[in-house]
Structure 1
Amino acid sequence: MSTTTATPQQTTGSTGGPDLAALYKHLRVVDVVDALDGIGYFNLTLMSPELRPLWSGMRFWGPAVTIRAVPSNKPMWRLEGTQDIVEAHRIWFERYPATRLPDDLPPNHVIVMESGGGPEVGFWGSENAMGAVGGGAAGIITDGYCRDTAEIELQRTPVVARKRGRTIIPGRIEVVEVQGTIACGGVRVDPGDVVGCDEDGAVVVPAAVAQEVAVHARAILLADMHARRRHYDAQGKKPDSTVDADAVIAYYESL
């Protein structure tokens, strides 16, 4: 079997369309970027290198669902008593109801958030990010802040953020739109685009070319695995999963 030729697989998602997350499962960001280069998308969809995974070893891919937030320009008022302070989010959202993502999101989606360039605010934290994963998200990417980052790492909750923050939402930020076109990390993101990350950074693959890019990227990955395996053998290094091309080939043949 050729290790540098791949053909599209007709995997399907819950809506009957291609399961793009499955096509991207084993791909590295660099494979996808090289494939994008190959079809003329030079640097167009590379998210800013400031957007970094919050723990080592993170990798995810999935169709984008989008959130656009802006500074609230409304102050939080003084709260009376400890219990009100504990329930600050509930009190804030009762006065200013949140705009929320719909319930019928595709499986293994990636939440991508445009933060509006507002003040330091931990919109994402260990509790709500874990809840998003429980609701089917493969990962979260924000060009803003994330807080509780030690817990994020301990939980292995997949969050990519520009900065680590300390503060909470009330009086600082509000979501004004979901499932619209946004800009995140200097890149346009439309709902349904394939978005992913690993330790090298994050990238967006426009939906119109996502299947083609997956095919090219797979071939790039397999060629690299075979080349690196030769170095492993020559240097007497014990093979690991990063050079197990047979496992990757078997996975894609099973789709």
Structure 2
Amino acid sequence: MTQQDDIHVDPYQIRKHFEPLRVADVCDGLDGLGYFNVGNVSQDIRPLFLGIKFWGVAVTLRCVPANKPMWPLETTEDVVKAHGHWFDKHGNKARSLNDHVQEGSVVVCDMGSAGEVGFWGSENALGVVNKGGVGIVTNGYARDTGELALQKTPICVRSRGRTIIPGRIEAVETQTPVGIGGAQVRPGDIVGCDDDGLVVVPIEVAAQVAAHGKEVLLADMRARQRRYDDLGMPHDETVDVQAMEAYFAKLG
């Protein structure tokens, strides 16, 4: 398959070829095409907790720091409904994100160098999951992080935060190219993470990268299986070569 052919692939089908792969396998695949360091997201942006792994299709959101202050709120009820008051007055373009998230999507949010603001929290992140999203990536902050971990919400962030949106940040555009940790992310690109970090695969080369990454993974599994045997270690899923070969055979 040529790069030109890759442009016309369905990214939601291609992502299935990435699902078993490690980020390391995919980075090797990119290197094999001469894409050295292309798509490598800064290690400043990390999975919130160990064990998060996902591969999905980028759905993007671009935000900027707000240039309008939030006004004082008069009652406790107003404080509870602060987001609603803010969005009623200034709008909320992030709502249109829901029109694009589907099974296998990764929401990628550029926070536009805004300061500490917990744009993603335990409740709205579940909205992405409910729509079929497999991950959230942001170069900003998340809050309610204890609950995000308890829920096992697959989210990668620059840092943990405390504060909320009103008066701090505005969503301005969806489904546009964004920059995350030194990597360009466009709608339809493949985005993945595991404990090693994050990588973005341009959709034009995604099929080739997946093919290379598959062979890197299988070769490593075979080698590690021999090491397990030499050491008398019981086999686990990371050296189950037959199961992995069967998975890829089903994809065709």
Normalised TM-score (structure 1): 0.92
1:78 aligns with 2:72: yes
Alignment partner of 1:156 is 2:152: yes
1:101 partner SS: helix
Over 3 Å counting, the alpha-carbon distance change for 1:116 and 1:18 in structure 2 is closer
| 1:186 counterpart = 2:186 | no
Change (3 A) 1:252 1:123: same
Residue 127 (structure 1) aligned with residue 123 (structure 2)? yes
Counterpart in the other structure of 2:214: 218
**Match among 154, 169, 186 for residue 173 of structure 1:** 169
Cα pair distance change 1:127/1:105, threshold 3 Å: closer
- RMSD of the TM alignment (CA)? 1.4
Q: Which of residues 17, 21, 31 in structure 2 aligns to 1:23?
A: 17
C-alpha distance in structure 2 between counterparts of 1:51 and 1:59, whole Å = 14
For residue 242 of structure 2, what is the amino acid of its counterpart? Answer: D
Kindly tell me: are residues 114 and 170 of structure 1, through their superposed partners in 2, closer, same or farther at Cα, counting changes over 3 Å? same
Unmatched runs of 5 consecutive residues or more in structure 1: 1-6, 8-14
Task: Provide Cα deviations, 1:51-72, integer angstroms capped at 9, x if missing partner.
Answer: 1101111100011010100001
In structure 1, C-alpha distance between the alignment counterparts of 2:47 and 2:190, rounded to whole Å: 17
Contact 2:106–2:135 under 8 Å retained in 1: yes
Runs of 4 or more above 4 Å deviation: 15-18
Rounded to whole Å, the distance in 2 between the matches of 1:147 and 1:16 is 34
Identity across matched positions, percent: 52
Q: In the TM superposition, what is the alpha-carbon distance from 1:16 to its structure 2 partner?
A: 6.3
Does 2:207 align with 1:229?
A: no
Indicate if the aligned counterparts of 1:229 and 1:243 stay in contact, CA closer than 8 A. Answer: yes
Structure 1 CA distance for aligned equivalents of residues 77 and 168 of structure 2: 21
Q: In structure 2, what is the equivalent of residue 241 of structure 1?
A: 237
- Work out the number of aligned pairs and report it: 242
Amino acid at match of 1:195: V
Q: Where does residue 11 of structure 1 map in the other structure?
A: none
Alpha-carbon distance in 2 for matches of 1:60, 1:102: 19
User: Contact between 1:63 and 1:106, CA under 8 Å: does it hold in 2?
Assistant: no
Matches within 5 A, 1:1-12: none
Query: CA–CA distance in 2 between the matches of 1:161 and 1:104?
Result: 21
Output one character per residue of 1:175-199: Cα deviation in whole Å (capped at 9) or x when no partner.
Answer: 1110011101111111100000001
Among candidates 55, 67, 73, match of residue 61 of structure 2: 67
The structure with the largest helix share of the pair is 2
Q: Supply the distance in 1 between the matched residues of 2:20 and 2:48 (Cα, whole angstroms).
A: 20
Q: CA offsets per residue over residues 23-73 of structure 1, 9 Å max, x none?
A: 111000000000100100001210000111011111000110101000011
TM-score normalised by L of structure 2: 0.93
The one-character-per-residue Cα deviations of 1:120-154 (angstroms, maximum 9, x if unpaired) are 00000000001111011110000000111111111
Task: Give distance in 1, aligned partners of 2:12 and 2:40.
Answer: 23
Change (3 A) 1:141 1:104: closer
Asked if the contact 2:101/2:128 (under 8 Å) is kept, the reply is: no
CA change 1:113–1:18 in 2 (3 A) is closer
1:192, 1:125 → 2: CA distance? 24
Deviations 1:64-83 (A, max 9, x none): 01010000111111001111
- The gaps in structure 2 that reach 5 residues or longer are 2-8
Q: Secondary structure at the match of 2:106?
A: strand
